[in-house]
Amino acid sequence: MIIYYKTASGKWINALTGQNITVPTTFEVEVTDLVKEGNITLTNPNYETQELDKGDIYPSTYVIGDYIYTRNSNKKYNYDGKLTTQRIMLASRTLTSDKEEDMIIYYKTARGIWIDALTGHEVTPTQKLNISTVDLINQKNDNMEVYLSSGTVSNQKIKQLAGNANATYSTIDENITKFIRETNVNNIPNGVIGNSNYLISASDSYKPIYAWYNNGVIYYYSEDSIIYLNSNSNSMFSRLTKIVEIDVSSFNTSKVTSMSGMFSGCSSLTSLDLISFDTSKVTDMSSMFDSCRSLSNLRLSSFNTSNVTDMSGMFLGCESLTGLDLSSFDTSKVTNMASMFASCGSITTAWARTSSDAVRFNASSYKPTTFTFVVKP
């Protein structure tokens, strides 16, 4: 479910995040579709918030309190009755006149910021509006799937949770040692659930994913058993230089297209089992394990690389690897293998899927001459 609106100043806003966006023409709705057009007579004015199902929201729908009105062909609003459904929420003040300026609609974004829907400006709601602390939209994706934010956003968030308020995805972090899933809701600290400061889920995630930091460990929690990684998961764990354990057991990677730099700079990581990863849609694996200097056990036997075009620097600096089984790697679409195995001087056993793949691996620039890829027996 996606709802966009246009402010009086002409800016298009994503109603969930409050962020400026560029909207396709198919989403053309005017700000007047969200505020009063024409006369409305209330029989039972109600000042409370009301939840709506996505099926109740149309470009010409207008909500006052917990009553819904739909604009007709004459741009007047017809009373459609009291709402009973519960998914999308909107808070408003009842009209006291026919003037548009007397109408106020405020909503709260996923980031906890209250916005004036007419102007797009941040506001501090007053008590007279009697607005409950609810979100305008509890957006859901059509498949009811739970998604993480993009790799760089998730990376930045967990570094900030670990104590570096100014961290970005390129910041080196020496605090996080483990990334672990918490399955028991009773173990979640007070103040985490319902607090957007702890969210690491994407804006269209069907359910929230929360993360928090405690004594070197980033814990994450979701009600759903399966968590989908974002299509752009590049740099997700990048530069977590002290991390030694990453729990990926509940990740579904079937929608990921970029894993570039996903584990780059995880220089303390010694073992990583990615046998559960579905990489069938991935096109970019560049620098995926770059500078994982301590990595000695890496399982990639399930990797489907038939759509990958970039493997440059994929294992660059993996100086502790002694064996590399790439017998599932299809390199037919790869156009860049530069420095793929550079500084991997400890490898003694290297397997490829076909002789053609082996030739391409062996021709990669800066590959040490101490080992040669051969077809796996």
C-alpha 237, offset from chain centre: 14
Residue 311: band (very low, low, confident or very high) from pLDDT cuts 50, 70, 90: very high
> Is it the case that residue 108 has pLDDT exceeding 70?
no
What is the structure's pLDDT at 31? 28
> Is it the case that residue 167 has pLDDT exceeding 60?
yes
Separation between Cα atoms, residue 337 and residue 357, nearest integer Å = 11
Separation between Cα atoms, residue 329 and residue 282, nearest integer Å = 12
Residues across the chain: 377
What is the rounded average pLDDT of the residues 237-262? 96
What is the structure's pLDDT at 1? 31
Mean pLDDT of the chain: 75
> Is it the case that residue 94 has pLDDT exceeding 70?
no
Residue 265: band (very low, low, confident or very high) from pLDDT cuts 50, 70, 90: very high
315-333: per-residue pLDDT in tens?
999 999 999 999 999 999 9
CA dist 335 to 187, 254, 288, 340, Å? Answer: 47, 22, 16, 12
Q: Is residue 339 a contact partner of residue 363, using CB atoms and an 8 Å limit?
A: no
Residue 357: band (very low, low, confident or very high) from pLDDT cuts 50, 70, 90: very high
Q: What is the pTM of this model?
A: 0.65
What is the rounded average pLDDT of the residues 81-108? 38
Separation between Cα atoms, residue 239 and residue 262, nearest integer Å = 10
DSSP 149: P
Separation between Cα atoms, residue 148 and residue 205, nearest integer Å = 7
Return the C-alpha torsion angle 341, 324, 326, 312, nearest 10: -20
What is the rounded average pLDDT of the residues 308-317? 98
Separation between Cα atoms, residue 103 and residue 48, nearest integer Å = 15
What is the structure's pLDDT at 253? 96
What is the structure's pLDDT at 67? 40
What is the structure's pLDDT at 326? 97
What is the rounded average pLDDT of the residues 302-324? 97
What is the rounded average pLDDT of the residues 250-264? 96
What is the structure's pLDDT at 145? 83
What is the structure's pLDDT at 111? 54
What is the rounded average pLDDT of the residues 71-96? 36
Separation between Cα atoms, residue 313 and residue 330, nearest integer Å = 17
328-348: per-residue pLDDT in tens?
999 999 999 999 999 999 999
Handedness of CA 279, 280, 284, 285 (dihedral sign): positive
Which two structure tokens, joined as six digits, stand for 356? Answer: 């053609």
CA dist 204 to 158, 169, 207, 356, Å? Answer: 19, 22, 9, 42
Q: Is residue 10 a contact partner of residue 120, using CB atoms and an 8 Å limit?
A: no
Residue 196: band (very low, low, confident or very high) from pLDDT cuts 50, 70, 90: confident
> Is it the case that residue 2 has pLDDT exceeding 60?
no
What is the structure's pLDDT at 229? 96
What is the rounded average pLDDT of the residues 275-286? 96
Does an H or E element contain 106, and which? Answer: strand 105-108
What share of the chain in percent tops pLDDT 70?
62
Return the C-alpha torsion angle 75, 79, 85, 91, nearest 10: 70
Residue 7: band (very low, low, confident or very high) from pLDDT cuts 50, 70, 90: low
> Is it the case that residue 75 has pLDDT exceeding 50?
no
What is the rounded average pLDDT of the residues 287-301? 97
Residue 207: band (very low, low, confident or very high) from pLDDT cuts 50, 70, 90: confident
DSSP 3-state of 158? helix
> Is it the case that residue 97 has pLDDT exceeding 50?
no
What is the rounded average pLDDT of the residues 214-233? 94
What is the structure's pLDDT at 193? 87
> Is it the case that residue 120 has pLDDT exceeding 50?
yes
